[in-house]
Each structure stands twice: as structure tokens, then as C-alpha cells.
Amino acid sequence: MNRCSFCRRSAESVDTLAAETIANKPAGLKRATPVWESLDDEALLAHLPRIEAIRHSVDDDLRAWVGEARNRGISWDRVGASLGMRRQSAWERFS
């Protein structure tokens, strides 16, 4: 079953699974048109809170994963490196 990579809802319960559409196209084809190009201003603004809620959910999930990494004794240096940041930045963000 296909799912949204952000919210994990099933394909049937979301408007578009853009990654599925893009991933199934052969390499070199033109990229899909961004969803916001087909929206009027009100629809675009109405979508922003949903994106913000997803961002919060992803951030909470990331914090949980980092917490588990630390519970396993993985160093801040390795956590930071896996996230493309320095040890100090990882510690400041997640401790």
C-alpha cells in the first residue's frame, strides 16, 4: 500500500502522492508541476497550517530517534554527523 512519506496516511486518503508519481517516471523526464501552482491564494494559505503540523510531527519524531540514539550510547559527534551538523549543533538542538 502506498503512503504519504510525511504523514504516513494511505494513498486513498491524500490528494496527491507526488513522490510516487515522480519516482515511477523514467529518469530524465520533466519534473511534476508543484501543487501550489494550481491553488488560489486562499487554498494555498489554508494548506500552510497542515504543512506546519507535519513539520512539528516530523520534528517530534526526529527528537525521539535522536533520544533513542543517545539512550544507546551513540555520541553527539556521530548523531551530528548523521544529520550533517557538528556535535555542538546537535547537542544544542536536541539535548
Per residue in 3-29, pLDDT (tens digit) is 665 566 666 766 665 554 445 555 555
Residue with cell 550510547: 73
Give the burial string for 49-68 (b: 16+ CB within 10 Å, else e): eeeeeeeeeeeeeeeeebee
Residue type for position 94: F
Across the chain, mean pLDDT equals 83
Q: Report the pLDDT averaged over residues 73-80.
A: 98
Q: Which 3 state secondary structure label does DSSP give 88?
A: helix
Q: Report the pLDDT averaged over residues 27-52.
A: 85
73 has pLDDT over 70: yes
Each domain of the chain, given as residue ranges in start order, spans 1-32, 41-94
- Is this prediction's pTM over 0.85? no
CA dihedral 52, 58, 75, 86 (to 10 degrees): -40
Cβ contact 3:11 at 8 Å: yes
Question: What is the pLDDT confidence band of residue 32, given thresholds at 50, 70 and 90?
Answer: confident
